[in-house]
Amino acid sequence: MTTRRQTFRLYPNKTQENQLFEARRNHAYLYNACVAHRRYEWRANKKIVTYLEQQNCLPAFKKEWVEFAYLHSQSLQATVKRVDLAYGAFFQGLRGLPRFKSIRNYSGWSYPAKSGWKVNSNGKHGSVTLNDLDITLKMRGQAKQWGNPTTLTIVYKPSRNQWFASITVDIPAFECKFCEQSNLSYESIVAFDLGTETAITLYDGEKFTEIENPRFTQKAEQEIKQKSKALRRKTAPNKNKKVKGSRRWKKARKQISKLQRKVSSQRLDWQHKVTSDIASRYDIGVTEQLNTKGMTRKAKKGSKRKKQKAGLNKSILAVGFGALNQMIAYKIEQKGGLLLTLPTKQIKPSQRCPKCGVVHKHWAELSNRYHICDACGFEIPRDKGSVMVMYNVVTNQQPGLGTSLVDCGCLSSTNLTGKRKHTGSMRQLGQMKRQKSSRKSDGDLETPPVFTAG
């Protein structure tokens, strides 16, 4: 069973919106009341208030403050829980002391279980009913995957003046299509590498495909820069001097955030398109371990390549390497395929000659865009060379690397949930293939293949 979060936009009418605002206000009051309670108890009695104590206060609280009485009890508990989580993070040293939240910017409230609300949708558009407010809201949006709805969070975004329903759904456990008869063929393998010049380079044993980096970020970036410059000339709010932000300042800030939002949704759209396309065409994806953290680290102090590194960092972040990899992984695994992650350190795909297997240390430098092997004379552009090595490794065709590496279990399917659906060693893959083909030839369907899903 996997859980996924789906977001739909809500379209309340005027009276409904007023009801939503009222409920949000009440939840914000409750949140602040809980923070105040904790602060008071600490100051007066040096006592740490627990979640349970506050939760047990709720019935009495509702009797006193009748305007809260109509709200769903579990959703009130969820708001109390938010305070508890904020304090939990504070006690662990992860966050600062929880503050009072401005009612104007309060985000919303949750229904933590299945009661108190109902979704009427099959994953595309539909409506959601909130029992405590006694309203049914129209919603629009399309879920990538739909299942059994379990929790609901109502979110308000003040900057956009829009309402959203964030619904988590339980999706039935992945069924290994391989065990049944399916048309998945583990012969369609693709090796891919993420780069900065070419966003993705693919190799499927026959041809290379290069997916260009979208340039919309650079264009928008210039615009954002200009607008930020204009913003700096306007009166910004300053709490110490008790200056409020000017109207022009607010307006300029709004324009900037609108642009940033546009870029991020463009990027997301592009990522989804590209990754869906790859996942639909291939059953096995092969890539190398990514170290985006190291890649995006700032250049060392005094390094001559500071500027270069900054530019590289920017384009790495712009494409969103981690996000791309994860998307390909979950999309491929959703249809029953698998993603193999090769250990970069052992294989060194960017330093190894795909033809003869000799490792050239100087190939590792990023300035070397085109590789010529001095052992066998093979020529190939850098990105293409490394995907070719990766492809060769999984298909056991790479000279210079024994099969021991492939069999040792270094290969593993990266999965978002951290569990492995297929143990991705090549030997097991081979077994699966054999079982499949023997099943086909004998027509023997009575003994299901032994399949280890680890």
Complex with Zn ion: residue 27 or 352, whichever CB lies closer = 352
Cβ within 8 Å of residue 135, ≥6 positions away: 12, 16, 19, 20, 129
Total residues found in the chain within this entry: 454
Q: How far is the CB of 355 from Zn ion (least distance, A)?
A: 4
Q: How far is the CB of 360 from Zn ion (least distance, A)?
A: 8
Complex with Zn ion: residue 375 or 416, whichever CB lies closer = 375
Complex with Zn ion: residue 97 or 359, whichever CB lies closer = 359
| Per-residue interface string for the shown chain with Zn ion, residues 313-352, x marking contact by CB under 5 A | ----------------------------------------
β-pairing, 148-157 with 127-130?
Answer: unpaired
Q: How far is the CB of 309 from Zn ion (least distance, A)?
A: 30
Site for Zn ion, residues 345 to 374, rule: CB under 5 A: 353, 355-356, 373
Environment class of residue 284 by beta-carbon count within 10 Å: exposed (0-12), middle (13-18) or buried (19+)?
buried
Complex with Zn ion: residue 36 or 356, whichever CB lies closer = 356
Positive/negative CA dihedral, 153, 156, 160, 163: positive
Contact with Zn ion (CB under 5 A) among 48, 243, 376, 408: 376
Cβ within 8 Å of residue 172, ≥6 positions away: 1, 147
Site for Zn ion, residues 110 to 149, rule: CB under 5 A: none
Complex with Zn ion: residue 284 or 353, whichever CB lies closer = 353
Angle in degrees, 0-180, between the axes of helices 51-64 and 14-45, rounded to the nearest 10: 120
Tell me the CB-side half-sphere exposure of residue 379, using CA atoms within 13 A: 1
Buried b (16+ CB within 10 A) or exposed e, 80-119: bbbbbebbeeeeeeeeeebeebeeeebbbbbbbeeebbeb
Complex with Zn ion: residue 348 or 355, whichever CB lies closer = 355
Site for Zn ion, residues 169 to 228, rule: CB under 5 A: none
Q: How far is the CB of 209 from Zn ion (least distance, A)?
A: 23
Q: How far is the CB of 389 from Zn ion (least distance, A)?
A: 11
Q: How far is the CB of 206 from Zn ion (least distance, A)?
A: 21
Of 118-126, 216-224, 363-371, 377-385: span binding Zn ion (CB under 5 A): 377-385
* Under 8 Å between Cβ of 330 and 144: no
Cβ within 8 Å of residue 208, ≥6 positions away: 201, 202, 384, 387
If binding is defined by CB under 5 A, does position 85 make contact with Zn ion?
no
Contact with Zn ion (CB under 5 A) among 378, 405, 428, 451: 378
* Under 8 Å between Cβ of 335 and 346: no
* Under 8 Å between Cβ of 72 and 118: no
Q: How far is the CB of 388 from Zn ion (least distance, A)?
A: 11
Site for Zn ion, residues 19 to 78, rule: CB under 5 A: none
Q: How far is the CB of 253 from Zn ion (least distance, A)?
A: 56
Q: How far apart are CA 241 and CA 417, in angstroms?
A: 49
Contact residues: Zn ion, CB under 5 A: 353, 355-356, 373, 375-376, 378
